[in-house]
Amino acid sequence: MEPNVCPASQTTSEDGHTETQVKLIIGSLPEQRTLTISKSLLIDTGGFFAACFHYGMQESQTNEIKFPEEPIAPFERLIGLIRMRAPADRYTQCDKETILQCLEVYLLADKYCLSKTQDAIADGLNGRWYHKMEKEHFFWTLDNMEPKTPLYRLAIDRMALAIAKRPTDYLAQNHPNSGGYQFSTQGYIKQVEIVFGQEWGHKLFMRAIDVVDWEPRLVDCRYHVHGACVECEGKEPDDDIWKVD
């Protein structure tokens, strides 16, 4: 018996080539969204999507992929980012209002092994966190991502650098030194522990001692995905400054 194959919709690109469109069905009824995207673009994204169409999976015949358990809004943003071909243009739209959305999309990209998309988001967040990192974004990253994830490392390094360069931004409210006066090392450790908790306060302080010395090396490629799915186009870091005790 021949498989029940759904007819694939097609569109014509700007250069006149016919492109097969794939349906992505997200969520479950009654709240469900169907998105369409170029098949060749999905394959070029790599990871899970490339596997769907390269290894004889059912999706290669039906041109339809279902994601019944995934949250709709972050998945829509993920597909929007893929349509932007962000790895080529760099994803720099992680402003203060959308950082949490960026983190949610990164989590999806990590789940589906979309390393190019992860790298693009990491670049945007690295640039944004260079200027300011909010405590809630730091804790969200630590609570939702595995320690081996490059973005987990980026969050630690950027927060450590922030408390090293702008310590008064992270003192407990109403602390007498919040006006910018000098205070002892032990006093500073205590205040950081009040804000971040005893375990992370101490770790961040110890990390901050090192991070100020190699700030110029907090470059994009250090926080890219290396070797897990698709190898990063940049250079693999050759030192051990990622280690967090």
What DSSP string describes 126-139? HHHHHH---HHHHH
Per cent of the chain over pLDDT 70 is 68
pLDDT of residue 194: 75
Would you list the domain boundaries of the chain? Answer: 1-70
- Model pLDDT for residues 66-100, shown as the tens digit of each residue: 999 999 999 999 998 888 764 444 445 666 678 88
Residue ranges in the chain whose pLDDT is less than 70: 1-17, 85-96, 170-188, 214-220, 226-245
Q: Are 135 and 111 in contact (CB under 8 A)?
A: no
Distance CA 108, CA 75 (A): 7
Q: Is the pTM of this model over 0.75?
A: yes
The whole-number pLDDT of residue 1 equals 32
* Contact indicator for 115, 232 with CB cutoff of 8 Å: yes
pLDDT at site 203:
83
For the chain, give the percent of residues with pLDDT over 90.
22
